[in-house]
Amino acid sequence: MSAFHDLTLDALDGKPLSLKTLKGQVVLVVNVASKCGLTPQYAALENLHQQYKEQGFSVLGVPCNQFAGQEPGTEEDIQAFCSLNYGVSFPLSSKVEVNGPARHQLYRLLAGEGAEFPGDITWNFEKFLVGPDGRVLARFSPRTTPDEATVIQAIEKALA
| Residue of 19, 32, 36, 130 marked active site | 36
Say whether 36 is catalytic: yes
For 30-55, letters b (16+ CB in 10 Å) and e give bbbbbebebbebbbbbbebbeebeee
**82 with 61: CB under 8 angstroms?**
yes
Measured from the Cβ of residue 136, the count of other Cβ atoms closer than 10 Å reads 19
DSSP of 94-143:
PP---SSTT--HHHHHHHSTT-SS-S---STT-EEEE-TTS-EEEEE-TT
Q: What residues are annotated to the active site?
A: 36
